[in-house]
Amino acid sequence: MTDFTRRASVGLGLAAGVATLTPRRLRAQTPAEVKIAMLMPLSGPWARQGILERMGARLAVDDVNNAGGIKSMGGAKLKLVEYDTQDSAEKAKDAAQRMVAQEPDLVGGFGCWLSTFTLAATEVTERAALPWLTLSYSDLITGRGFKHVFQSSPTADRQAEEELPMIMEIAQKASGKKPTKVAFLGDNTASSVSFMKPMRDHEAKDQGLKIVADEVYTPPLTDATTLVQHIRSVRPDFVVLQSTNVPDDKLLVDKFAEFNLKSDRLPKIGSGGHWAVPELLKNAGPENLEGIMVGLANWPGKNQADLEKRFIARTGEPWFGHDSIFGYVHVLILKEALERTGVADRHKVNEAIHALDMTTGPALFFPDGHLKYDAAGRRVGAKLCVVQWRDAKPVPVYPASIATREVLWPKV
């Protein structure tokens, strides 16, 4: 054998070896499963909201995996790892620390529902460069210069600025008459005070509204008689309710009904997911809830009717709502980022989320139909939507992109 032949044979042998090893290396780099995290309150006072979000997330993971997994990664399956914030910011931060230590191969995650929990936990996820999606409202979450946090809801300040103009638009369209008088009634918790401040300071005046009552109480509410009596005496065109828990919601609803001020006579608008949960229906009753509106960051609309049926059949819940749809769509966003990167790498997933600009796929699970985050991590164009209690169920009535029924608002 000549030197040339010998070198050629060795070269061919090495080439064959490379050809044999390459698929093995590719298989080694493409895991059979990709881990994403959910950090939510699954015990304690806020457990119900965390459990609802988990229901939506688990359904989304099953839907992704049953449809073939992450196709750009050879069909890798999503695996959801779940951690409990429990009942305090300190415990939420501890859980986040355990999560990043015990699951070093995580590519992203979502949670923690309550803003104080999210603020604490994202200090940990940011240091770990772990992309984190949240429905929490606090402006501080994406106001700290973090590069790995994505806020899918409109921020609290934005919601406060938008609520009164939105109500005015709804009222004028439904009744043909522009309201001129508003009453505020809410508790003195920090979130409520912050939320109501822009309305008190300038929004009411900007909308041509006179504030005829501004009732504030310390929760828990024990008797709403004096509060509702005053509101009845000043005859507002509508009431903004800023309570923060189901027991207070029930007391207020019951007392308005007792004074013959149900929503067919006096429109009422609450804020937050607690106003649209099955527990409130059970405690307050469908007749007293009928017509009450609720401002929310998201709600499944007419395009999710089939998904809602599957969710109800799977979970036994009476409807698919605010918390569950956020769990569902956040899984889909992480799946989309993984499809685009093709690798289980949290840094590349983070870059992919920052680059998203979609009006299809997961974007269709938001009222505005757009999925894009700005440099701070806030979803561009995020707006409030409204559900209204109708026939013992909260149904979307605003905006038109998700509405399944027309708004009920008294014409006289």
Structure tokens given for 86:
């429990």
> Which residues are bridge partners to 77 per DSSP?
33
Same domain, 202 and 319: no
Query: In tens digits, what is the pLDDT along the chain, a chain of 412 residues?
Result: 444 344 434 343 433 444 444 444 444 456 899 999 999 999 988 888 899 999 999 999 999 999 999 999 999 999 999 999 999 999 999 999 999 999 999 999 999 998 899 999 999 999 999 999 999 988 999 999 999 999 999 998 888 899 999 999 999 999 999 999 999 999 988 778 878 999 999 999 999 999 999 999 999 999 999 999 999 999 999 999 999 888 999 999 999 999 999 999 999 999 988 899 899 999 999 999 999 999 999 999 999 999 999 999 999 999 999 999 999 999 999 999 999 999 999 999 999 999 999 999 999 999 999 999 999 999 999 999 999 999 999 999 999 999 999 999 998 6
| Total count of domains within the chain | 2
- What distance in Å separates the CA atoms of residue 84 and residue 86, rounded to the nearest whole number? 5
Report if residue 10 sits inside a domain: no
Same domain, 394 and 254: yes
Residues 337, 352: contact at Cβ < 8 Å? yes
Same domain, 163 and 282: yes
| Listed residue (103, 81, 102, 87) closest to 42, CA to CA | 87
Same domain, 167 and 311: no
Report if residue 27 sits inside a domain: no
Same domain, 199 and 283: yes
Same domain, 253 and 392: yes
Same domain, 164 and 291: yes
Residues 6+ apart with CB under 8 A from 403: 301, 302, 396, 397
Same domain, 270 and 175: yes
- What distance in Å separates the CA atoms of residue 255 and residue 258, rounded to the nearest whole number? 5
Identify the domain containing residue 227 by its residue range: 157-296+386-398
Structure tokens given for 293:
């509106």
pLDDT of amino acid 6: 43
pLDDT of amino acid 156: 86
CATH of residue 347's domain is 3.40.50.2300
Residues 238, 182: contact at Cβ < 8 Å? yes
- What distance in Å separates the CA atoms of residue 279 and residue 221, rounded to the nearest whole number? 17
303-336 burial, b if ≥16 CB within 10 A, otherwise e? ebeebbeebeeebebebbbbbbbbbbbbbbbbbb
Backbone angles phi, psi at 17, to 5 degrees: -65, -40
pLDDT of amino acid 29: 58
**For the whole model, what pTM was predicted?**
0.86
Residue 156 amino acid letter: A
Same domain, 135 and 219: no
Report if residue 38 sits inside a domain: yes
Task: Measure Cα distances from 140 to 102, 136, 186, 187, 377 in Å.
Answer: 28, 10, 23, 22, 11
